Amino acid sequence: MSSKIEELARSNVRALTPYQSARRLGGTGDVWLNANEYPLAVPFELSQQTLNRYPECQPALVIERYAAYAGLDTDQVLVCRGADEGIELLIRAFCEPGKDAVLFCPPTYGMYSVSAETIGVEYRTVEAREDWQLNLPAIADQLDGVKVVYICSPNNPTGNLVNPDDIRQLLEMTRGKALVVADEAYIDFCPQASLTGWLKEYPHLVILRTLSKAFALAGLRCGFTLANAEVIALLMKVIAPYPLSTPVADIAAQALSAEGIAVMQRHVSELIATRDKLIADLRQCGCVEQVFPSETNYVLARFTASSQVFKTLWDRGIILRDQNKQPGLSGCLRITIGTREECDRVISALKTLPVASDFREQA
């Protein structure tokens, strides 16, 4: 019976490899540094109790406060179930299955491909250069038929900002042809690099944001799409009737209050200090070959015998994110910035491992 049920599914869904989120990968650790979450819970109190009524499609207070935070007008803001829903809504609104395509530049976030495959839209990839910047000539060669280009900056999992001059060139070459979507899920850790100020100049620019990272609300599933009003109006045609539950809107509005933003910014400052210490400590570990600069709440590092390092820490209850399967990231593990104590525990565990030369001798 089960095989017959499977045959009823769309062929592209049967062939789909789902996104392997941190929770799907499992593990039984007590130091979770694989999902780019803020390490400590931020307290909120539910004030809205009218759960017998459907919520607003676009909760006014949430929209108003995020627009003020981002320096935009309210008609330039759409709130949805995490930035992931924003990724999907853009494909649904702008791409015809079997005709149009999306494009992105690995190594990068995995949901661009999953969302395209789920909807039945072709996706194309143009690998980033060795410095993880855009390969603009190669992108130009692949743009025919592309309706949406996703650029993650700061990029997940590498942690680097994409050169703004390159993004500007991409916007020029796609003008009137495709949307350019800047995924700014981690921009609160480097707000000076945001592209929100470019929206007036580029009507086809779209920006994705989230409360999951710097605002410490990964469990809330609340994200934002920022764009010119014409784009937002089109997305409103395909969004679910009630994307945010009443409790989610309640907590999001609190997080976006003046007090909530101040708390977030204080946490960001503390986390950046912890990140800088972790980077310095990693560079003193013998099994670490390279530590890459980061503008985010995680660090990417290349290890000798990374699979052994990953498993050894896993067995000790320290769960990292293996990036070996990403293009150009052989030997790389991604480490979310946890508490100072959690990061110190990572370093203590790494210092017990063989240095690079000893790993090679064992191999």
Per-residue pLDDT tens over the stretch 114-148: 999 999 999 999 999 999 999 999 999 999 999 99
310 and 225 share a domain? no
Residues 219 and 122 in one domain: yes
For residue 1 the two structure tokens come to 């019976």
Domain limits for position 75: 60-257
pLDDT band at 1 (very low <50, low <70, confident <90, very high): very low
Q: Is the dihedral of CA 47, 53, 54, 57 positive or negative?
A: negative
With CA atoms as reference, report the closest residue to 157 among 60, 28, 7, 20: 20
Q: Where are the beta strands (DSSP E) in 230-323?
A: 288-291, 298-303, 318-319, 321-322
Q: Do 264 and 253 fall into the same domain?
A: no
Residues 35-77 pLDDT 10s: 999 999 999 999 888 999 999 999 999 999 999 999 999 999 9
Q: Which CATH number goes with the domain that contains 32? A: 3.90.1150.10
Strand bridging mode 101-104 / 122-125: parallel
How many of the other CB atoms lie within 10 Å of CB of 7? 9
**Number of domains into which the chain is organized:** 2
Q: What is the pLDDT of residues 89-98, one digit of tens each?
A: 999 999 999 9
Instruction: Report yes or no: 95 and 118 within 8 Å, Cβ to Cβ.
Output: no
Question: Is the distance from CB of 293 to CB of 131 less than 8 angstroms?
Answer: no
Q: Are residues 133 and 84 in the same domain?
A: yes
Give per-residue pLDDT as tens, 161-172: 999 999 999 999
How far is residue 234's CA from residue 299's CA, in Å, rounded to a whole number? 37
159 shares its domain with 230 = yes
- Chain mean pLDDT for the chain: 94
Residues 118 and 147 in one domain: yes
Tens of pLDDT, residues 241-277 = 999 999 999 999 999 999 999 999 999 999 999 999 9
